[in-house]
């Protein structure tokens, strides 16, 4: 079992839709949770970074962590074609190493 599981998609939504991206993790030592956005042939870009259970909002993006069920989510409101990318969740226990999910490919269509 991978430590971080993520549905690879692809996920296709119409412009303006609310997008829900999800990951599960198995390592109880994970305390920090990140979401990265990666455009094709580019390096990942950090979108959101959370520590505790609950919600964290930044503009159209909301990250949600439920440590009791080991479930992390990213919501994108009013999705735009420019949001089309691969979204990677990642977790760490506070040491050096990040563990990434496989990424979910998102396409927002006009």
Binding site for another protein (CB under 8 A): 6, 8, 32, 34, 36, 41-46, 49, 88, 92, 94, 96-98, 100-103, 105
Nearer to another protein, 44 or 64 (CB): 44
CB of 16 to another protein, least distance (A): 27
- The nearer residue to another protein, 15 or 58, going by C-beta atoms, is 58
Identity of the residue, 19 or 48, whose beta carbon is nearer to another protein in the bound complex: 48
- Nearer Cβ to another protein, position 53 or 102? 102
Q: Least distance (Å) from another protein to the CB of residue 98? A: 6
As measured in angstroms, the least distance from the Cβ of 103 to another protein is: 6
CA dihedral 37, 42, 99, 64 (to 10 degrees): 0
- Residues in contact with 41: Cβ distance below 8 Å, sequence separation at least 6, in sequence order: none
How many angstroms separate the Cα of 24 from the Cα of each of 31, 41, 51, 90?
13, 26, 15, 10
């Amino acid at each position: 079992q991978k430590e971080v599981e993520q549905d690879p998609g692809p996920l296709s939504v119409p412009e303006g839709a609310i997008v829900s991206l999800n990951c599960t993790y198995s390592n109880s030592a994970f305390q920090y949770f990140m979401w990265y956005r990666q455009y094709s042939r580019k390096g990942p870009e950090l979108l959101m970074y959370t520590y505790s259970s609950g919600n964290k909002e930044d503009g159209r993006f909301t990250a949600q962590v439920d440590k009791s069920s080991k479930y992390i989510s990213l919501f994108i409101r009013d999705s735009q074609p420019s949001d089309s990318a691969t979204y990677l969740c990642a977790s760490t226990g506070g040491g050096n190493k990040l563990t990434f999910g496989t990424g979910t490919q998102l396409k927002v269509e006009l």
